[in-house]
Amino acid sequence: MKKTLVVLLALLILSTTMVFALVTGSPVIKGQLPFLLTNAGQGPGGKMARLLIWQSKAIQETDFDYNAEPLRDNPNDLAARDYKMLFVIIGSSAKGLGASGITIEEEIARLNKMIVEAQKLDLFIIAAHIEGKDRRGNPGSADEQSIDAIAPFADYLIVMKDGNQDGKFTRIAQEKNIPLTIIDNTIDFMQVIKQMFPTE
Amino acid sequence: MKNSVYLKILFLVLSGILGILGGIEFVELRNYKETVVVSEDFTEMIMLSEYLPSLKGTWGDTPIYIYDSGVPGGSMLILGGTHPYEPITTVAAYVVMENIKVESGKVYVIPHANMSASTLGMLGNAYPKYFSVETPWGSQKYRIGDRGTNPLDQWPDPYTYIHYPSGQNLAYQDIRNLNRTFPGRANGTLTERISFAIMELIRNEDIDIFFDYHEASLMYPVVSTYVAHDDAMDIGMMAAMMLSATQFPMKIEASPKNLKGLTHREVGDFSDALALLMETPEPFIDRVAGRMTEELMVDGIDEFVQTAAEKGLVYCDYDIKEGFTDPLGNVIIGAPLDYRVGRHLSGTLEAVNWMNMFFPEKALVVSFPGYAEVMENGTGYYLHDPSKADPSRVFKN
Amino acid sequence: MLVFFDTIIYYLYFIMTAFFAFLLLRNLFKREKRKALVYDIVYSYVIITFILRVIGIK
Amino acid sequence: MYLQTTIIAIVMVATFALASWKLKSPEISMVITAIVGALVGGFGFPSRLLVEGMFTYFDVGLIFLTASIFINIYSETGAMNALVRWIVKQFYDKKWLMLILLGILLIIPGALTGAGSVSIFVVGGLVSSVMNYMGFSKKRIAAFIYLFAMLAAVAPPINLWAMLMAAQANMPYVGFGVVLIVPIIIIAAFTILYTGLSKTPGRKTKTEILEELPQPPAGMNWFKILVPFGVLLVLILLMQYATFYIPVLGLPLTFMICAFISMGMDKDRWKVKKWYNVMVKTVDQVFPLLGTVISVGVLVNIMTATGVKGLLAITFITLPMAFIYITALIFAPFAQGSLSYGSAIILGTPIIFLFNSMGLNVTVTAAALSFLFPLGDCLPPSRIVGRLTIETVGYEGSYMSFLKAIAIPWLFMGAIGLLMLLFPNQLRFLVVY
């Protein structure tokens, strides 16, 4: 029972509109609707973000679409609706290797195509790395390749603190002059969403 | 040169003595029983063979402990000891069994999912036979088993194992690996029949949420992780994020669709249960670990694994010198038993909470000590003295 | 039915092992090759391995 | 821990060297090394760990025993000689075609069971005597058989190293077909050329050979020659493709069934005494191998207990990448020599994870490693397939001279494996699902 209480308490804290020091760095930018949520690297991050957006209750479920692999089968994915933003969650998967996984080369090729297409459509690109150091790897790994394919082309970066221990995202932000918001924990992504889409 | 017959007999006798000395220890391990004192909410113990009679009288049969609140609600099944060389999973199941309170719904716990595999050491791995958990009333001894079913119970292995029903080829010894034989066959090998019986339990009792406790080597990417079937993904993700923010680092991975025979894949595919598997870090089973000792099992402190960690080859927090600090402020040095037990306990509670939130109609209200409590008081604090307990609540496994 | 056959095969393996244990025992005392003393020792512990399996100890 | 374990490791190596030199028996030397290692490591005299170790490769030992019994009984019926006779008759003038066929013959049993030793047991004797009559030197015969036994173990459908690594790394064992077959064809072609281009000065004429070969016993016919092998093939294929409808037979029982069928083909089928003697002789013949697999298990168990195994593994995988490539040809084979298939689990799996973390293709990497491990089947302490080859061929030189005899194709295979390890992403196109 005590355990349940702790969890409920934590939830309560998280669901207040009060902002703790959980979200730091550049002020959260104002969001535009509708947007397309996707992921780079085929990790669980995209679904996690979708879930957190639902849980935040800041916007309607119909205000955004989730597509795990836009442009893989359908070249019109980015123009399926009048999207204003492309919201990319970066992170690969550690699930089974070989045939059970994805080939990262194909994934990167798709991501490159997606960025070009998004820029052509003049979408506001948000790159978010919200799973921390577990989704960082050696140079050349699926995680790093995914970051390199997306982050430098973003208009806005959201990164979890311990995923930026080596300062890679800070460097990208400075070089490309991209605003960078830092969160303490994955779950604080909910706060970012709430600030992005404040309910009057 | 003709060797003396007496000399030959002498060698034979000496080897025989060696065999007897070793044999005594094998027999002792095979027949050693662990003691557990079930909580007051315990209602009934049945055997797995109730779901598949052909298991009766075999080492594949194993006790199922039932905690029925009598109040309508969700139902949960916990498997410990799917791989008995990850014995903390059984200890965690015991802590649940000794302390659980069920306010609504029904809970099933199988502490030794593969009983046969828990009765021998793993060939070539030189494990100690037992390890002990210190309690306020003395120390409590548990077996360290194998990964697969005892060859004395299932023999021979094929030259390649073909998974039923997918037809996927797997290494031959995986035919005795309970976490590769799901969903099992009623007329298959012993291990396949254990899987089938567990599936029958899940289907017949309409289990809502299923947990399979595991431990992993630190160099295995899926360590400190939930592995969730597609249906349980939302629950797993919320629980993982919550735990990482408030208690201990926890990752989440989706169950790969092409990897067959594993509980998180097959239980989800072949029943309505929400299937989750949890992995804690167990340096003891890392390929690079040094000396095989009981202390390594209990404290999880190993220099070679530390080297691997320093080279960035492990997939979770690990430090045997300064340790790392969890969100509650505990400093974790190595991968101690309490840490691993606590992870399983809170991993279960957190996921159940989220199931209750996502599916209020399945509400399962349970409580037992979690990570914070176990880290504070130690695992032994939650194990009860069988000599002082009501004999009807003392069980041997 | 398959379970029944599995059981028969299971026992066949024990019989097979017992048979080999017997052959090894015979060769410990009467063999053509490798008559050196050290091989008496090797034979001895190999035989014990087979016997422990036959009597279901390991 | 590093220092202590290193000392234990050094003591164990020294003990093994000394014991092998003094006692001339690798089997007992391994057990003595294990006991000394346990004593130095502070485990006392760990009877349980020693006995437990004896069971590590118990089932492998059973396979050796039963496979040999089958083939010796088959030979006893005269079928083997008839087969050799027929091959010499047909292919005496077609050397290249014959070598290709013998190669394929050697690959089949190992490819289906995953064990090169099974290839040698089942068809090694046949291949050896045919090549003998064709005038090849013992050295070339040994090299040919050893190389093809290794390729047989690597060949799909069953490549145990790749399967074990896949199982440990949670990757499905699929996509390995082409990436294994292409290098196998290259290595096989090289080995055939290497063998075929050698001189065969002592080659007799066809008629001489046929006179020398014993006449097949009365009543020997194609049916009797082929049925035992046919049954073996059918049983193995049934186990692969009708698994869900038959019980698990296991290889030992399969070989025993075929042995009994062979007996049934003979006119002396009821002469129990005769068959009993064949089996006694077989046990005598196979014993060194049986002793080896039992003893190597003891050694491995103590190496694990004392942490020596962990020391080897951590040392190898924390080497800088360049060193991994440089030393792979030493580390991987020696791991195989001392740990047998355990090498795949102990060294192979960490490498898979390491390479994966750098974005290298793991399927090609696993395939590459599976070409490097079998090279160690001729290395001490166990040198199982190496010794088996020597026995089967009747090679008389020293073990070192055998190693020299196989060196060139061995290095070629190593080079191919290493190239695959170096360029996994460039070879990715070979992975076909």
Q: pLDDT tier at B328 (50, 70, 90 boundaries)? A: very high
Could you tell me which residues are beta bridge partners of residue B277?
Answer: B212, B227
pLDDT of residue A13 exceeding 80, the answer is no
- Contact residues, B window 52-81, toward C, CB-based 8 Å cutoff: 54
Contacts of B287 in chain D (CB under 8 A): 310, 313, 345-346, 349-350
Can you tell me the distance from the alpha carbon of A125 to that of D4, in angstroms, rounded to the nearest whole number? 56
Arithmetic mean of pLDDT over chain C: 94
| Confidence at residue A17, expressed as pLDDT on a 0 to 100 scale | 39
Instruction: Compare CB distances from B12 to C36, C47, C58 and report the shortest one's residue.
Output: C47
Kindly list the distances between the CA atom of residue B309 and the CA atoms of B191, B313, D355, in Å, as whole numbers in the listed order: 35, 5, 16
Q: What is the pLDDT of residues D47-99, one digit of tens each?
A: 999 999 999 989 989 998 999 899 899 989 999 889 999 999 999 999 999 99
CA of B324 to nearest chain C CA: how many angstroms apart? 42
Q: What is the pLDDT of residues A36-64, one digit of tens each?
A: 999 998 888 999 999 999 999 999 989 99
Could you tell me which residues are beta bridge partners of residue A186?
Answer: none
Establish if B328 touches chain A: CB-CB under 8 angstroms. no
Establish if D301 touches chain C: CB-CB under 8 angstroms. no
Question: B292 and D297 in contact by Cβ < 8 A?
Answer: no
**Closest residue of chain D to A103, computed from CA coordinates:** D361
Touching, C vs A (3+ Cβ pairs under 8 A):
no
Residue scoring higher pLDDT (A2 or B324): B324
Establish if D120 touches chain A: CB-CB under 8 angstroms. no
Query: What's CA B241's distance to the chain center, in Å?
Result: 23
Which of A177-181, B229-233, B328-332, D240-244 comes out lowest in average pLDDT? D240-244
Residues of chain A with pLDDT > 70, as a percent, come to 84
Please state the φ and ψ torsions of residue B106, each to the nearest 5 degrees: -140, 140
Mutation choice for D interface testing from C13, C23, C58 by most D CBs within 10 A: C23
Q: Is B310 inside any structural domain?
A: no
pLDDT of residue A2 exceeding 60, the answer is no
Mean pLDDT along residues A106-129? 93
pLDDT of residue A147 exceeding 60, the answer is yes
Arithmetic mean of pLDDT over chain D: 91
Contacts of A198 (CB under 8 A, 6+ apart): A58
The token pair that represents B169 in the structure block? 């080829």
Mutation choice for C interface testing from B8, B9, B11 by most C CBs within 10 A: B11
D44 contacts D296 by C-beta, under 8 angstroms: no
A197 contacts A59 by C-beta, under 8 angstroms: yes
pLDDT of residue B225 exceeding 90, the answer is yes
Mean pLDDT along residues D237-263? 94
Assign residue B142 the CATH number of its domain. 3.40.630
Burial of B130 (0-12, 13-18, 19+ CB in 10 A): middle
Residues of chain B with pLDDT > 70, as a percent, come to 99
Each domain of chain C, given as residue ranges in start order, spans: 2-54
CA proximity to B133, closest of B387, B370, B383, B386: B383
Pairs of CB atoms within 8 A across B/C: 62
Kindly list the distances between the CA atom of residue D302 and the CA atoms of C45, D30, D295, D332, D335, in Å, as whole numbers in the listed order: 17, 10, 11, 20, 15
**H-assigned helices in chain A:** 2-15, 45-56, 104-120, 142-150, 168-176, 189-196
| Confidence at residue D218, expressed as pLDDT on a 0 to 100 scale | 83
DSSP string, B12-29: HHHHHHHHHHHHHHHHHH
Instruction: Compare CB distances from D48 to B25, B302, B311 and report the shortest one's residue.
Output: B25
| Confidence at residue B51, expressed as pLDDT on a 0 to 100 scale | 98
Residues of chain B with pLDDT > 90, as a percent, come to 92
pLDDT of residue A10 exceeding 70, the answer is no
**Closest residue of chain D to C26, computed from CA coordinates:** D280
CA proximity to B185, closest of B77, B264, B256, B266: B266
Instruction: Compare CB distances from B253 to A1, A3, A95 and report the shortest one's residue.
Output: A95
The token pair that represents D251 in the structure block? 């290889």
Please report where in the chains the tokens 């399967």 appear, as a residue.
Answer: D163
Each domain of chain A, given as residue ranges in start order, spans: 2-196
pLDDT of residue B2 exceeding 90, the answer is no
| Confidence at residue A9, expressed as pLDDT on a 0 to 100 scale | 52
Q: pLDDT tier at D167 (50, 70, 90 boundaries)? A: confident
Contacts of B346 in chain A (CB under 8 A): 3
pLDDT of residue D254 exceeding 90, the answer is yes
Kindly list the distances between the CA atom of residue D31 and the CA atoms of D49, D67, D295, D296, D424, in Å, as whole numbers in the listed order: 12, 26, 6, 8, 39
Q: What is the pLDDT of residues C16-47, one digit of tens each?
A: 999 999 999 999 998 887 788 899 999 999 99
- Contact residues, B window 148-207, toward C, CB-based 8 Å cutoff: 152, 154-156, 187-189, 193
pLDDT of residue A102 exceeding 70, the answer is no
pLDDT of residue A107 exceeding 50, the answer is yes
Q: What is the pLDDT of residues B99-117, one digit of tens each?
A: 999 999 999 999 999 999 9
Q: pLDDT tier at A5 (50, 70, 90 boundaries)? A: low
We find that the CATH architecture of domain A2-196 is: 3-Layer(aba) Sandwich (3.40)
Q: What is the pLDDT of residues D118-131, one digit of tens each?
A: 899 889 999 999 99
Sign of CA dihedral B227, B229, B233, B239: negative
Residue scoring higher pLDDT (D4 or B256): D4
Establish if D363 touches chain A: CB-CB under 8 angstroms. yes
The token pair that represents C2 in the structure block? 């398959």
Sign of CA dihedral B89, B94, B95, B97: positive
Mutation choice for B interface testing from C1, C2, C5, C6 by most B CBs within 10 A: C6
The token pair that represents A94 in the structure block? 């550690």
Chains that touch B (3 or more CB pairs under 8 A): A, C, D
Contacts of D378 (CB under 8 A, 6+ apart): D146, D337, D385, D386, D389, D402, D403, D406, D410
CA of B116 to nearest chain A CA: how many angstroms apart? 28
Establish if D56 touches chain B: CB-CB under 8 angstroms. yes
Instruction: Compare CB distances from B170 to D51, D167, D310 and report the shortest one's residue.
Output: D167
**Closest residue of chain A to D357, computed from CA coordinates:** A141
- What pairing do the DSSP bridges indicate for beta strands A124-129 and B209-216? unpaired
pLDDT of residue A3 exceeding 60, the answer is no
**Closest residue of chain D to A101, computed from CA coordinates:** D171
Instruction: Compare CB distances from C34 to D54, D256, D287 and report the shortest one's residue.
Output: D287
Helix (H) or strand (E) holding B214: strand B209-216
- Say how many domains are in chain B: 1
